Amino acid sequence: MKTPSYRVEAGGGLRGTIVIPGDKSVSHRSVLLGAIAEGTTEVEGFLESEDCLATLNAMRNMGVSVERPAPGRVVVDGVGLGGLAAPTAALDMGNAGTAMRLSMGLLAGQRFDSTLTGDASLTRRPMERAAMPLRLMGARIETTGGRPPVSIRGGGALTAIDYDLTVPSAQVKSAILIAGLYAAGETKITEHAVTRDHTERMLRAFGADVRTHNGVVAIAGGQRLHGTRLRVPGDISSAAFFIVAATLAAEGAFVIEDVGVNPTRTGVLEILKLMGADIRLTNERRFGDEPVADLVVKKSALRGIEVPRALVPLAIDEFPVLFVAAAAAAGVTVVSGAAELRVKESDRIAVMATGLHALGIEADPRPDGMRIVGGRLGGGTVDSHGDHRIAMAFAVAALKAHDRIDIHDVANVATSFPGFPALARGAGIAIDELR
């Protein structure tokens, strides 16, 4: 069966103002926590991507009423911590690793048995990193060779733990925090590197007492969540494609409105600024507890850098397009400490290196990163291996290419960024979707 592809003509320039779809991480959490809150939760700006809809459908399959009265608007009638019902079949999380790992924490404390599964890509991704600490809490979880499907036996009692998060992962941290709601005692997690804190912020929005101090996050079990109103900011991971695109080819000032600038997510901005990008935040404000700003980006001459390791966890999802920025920069860029990229929707180090080679760029993949020598981007054909972020990254690369780029296997772009081709085309990227 033929999969969709992108055909992107070389050159072009970005102009105007755009609004990015809602943040995927925040959207997942809004529905999941709204489901176990007491009362109604109203969400504006919900990302209606395949990944987030998988979370929404999983909650429905456990007896939660979730309505979508208008585009981007979701109303969840929460059932409380103990109100979920046993699903009649396995919960299909599609391509959503976030949905699966967070749901593991949620389901660990339920009275019923459950199974989590997903598509071919998700069933290749590691789940033991979340299962292991949950087992320490008393959860009865079995993976399939360390990967999905994941089976969870309900009815057991959970006990709080002190957990040392040696591998930075907001998804693992979140799974433990959510399970901590069902555990006796106070669960503590020690982080050695900063990771996304959307779960902590949103738990507080639902009325939970979550304490953070000197890298330790703590939550007491048995707390009741209360329905609330949430507004989801634009997803900085999605905005990253247009930030890099504007840095490479903006015609004047290019504006991206309503972007979430949570400090645990702005590594991409810091890295690009170190490379010489002209990015300015304006109209800074908050959507609830999440900081938001409009981004003004101008065309800049980028230079290669050694990416500070401390910024890597704060930009882990943005590296595919950062690799494109490095390919267009003068000099050498070195990324290390990013082994997590090997176990995303694809092996993003290997797949990006192969694609950059196809376009004539010297890219040396390493176990935990890559060395890229900026140069002349040619045209050619690349395979995204079904990875949405790689497909979109190479669409951006065409702005600096000297010939057309054809990108294969792009169907999964809809998992995070529905409407990407149309938005990119309107901004000035000469992209067509072929089916």
> Alpha-carbon distance 302 to 298, whole Å?
12
Work out the number of other CB atoms within 10 angstroms of the CB of residue 213: 7
The letter for the amino acid at 383 is D
Tokens of 23: 């943040």
Residue 400 · residue 393 · CB < 8 Å: no
> Alpha-carbon distance 416 to 48, whole Å?
9
The letter for the amino acid at 68 is R
Tokens of 135: 């087992």
| Cα Rg of the chain (Å, integer) | 21
Cα–Cα distance list, 207 to 161, 182, 362 (Å) = 22, 15, 51
Cα–Cα distance list, 114 to 7, 107, 142, 266 (Å) = 42, 7, 11, 36
> Alpha-carbon distance 99 to 63, whole Å?
17
Q: Is 77 a catalytic site residue?
A: no
Residue 205 · residue 289 · CB < 8 Å: yes
> Alpha-carbon distance 262 to 85, whole Å?
34
Tokens of 303: 């230079």
> Alpha-carbon distance 251 to 235, whole Å?
23
From the list 23, 92, 119, 317, the catalytic residue is: 317
Which is it for the CA torsion 335, 336, 337, 341, positive or negative?
positive
Catalytic positions: 317
